[in-house]
Structure 1
């Protein structure tokens, strides 16, 4: 059974701190929302026993999730950086 990735745990940041950062930075909020949506879609695809999406599509979802996580980390480290 696939499990959703805990973004705060992965980035070693408290949920409260993430909430504060998201509230203060609309760009970060958008990135985190995209990450959560992509993570949910990835987990759903992994848990589905029927082949709703191809292996290539699942791999693409995972790659997108990883890129978003990298952008989120970059945004947290440097809020002035362009997204």
Structure 2
């Protein structure tokens, strides 16, 4: 089964997560098929906290990939953030 999940990176006490498409049998930080975004929970100032390539996520969901619960929440946040600036303009 193909899943879209977080792969941890960064140093100790400074997490950084890549949002990746991977085979569910692979290790959390192991081999992946495609990187579709990132999440930086400790971003501050002008640093970007979340980026998701919505078109690629939609493609993978269309071919049967499952979202992890955390990634589902992050994708929802990214959609809301993408719609909010467009509505304000």
If the TM-score is normalised by the length of the shorter chain, which range does it land in? 0.3 to 0.5
Higher strand share: 2
The TM-score with structure 1 as length reference comes to 0.34
Q: 1 or 2, which has the higher helix percentage?
A: 1
Higher relative contact order (CA 8 A, sep 6+): 1
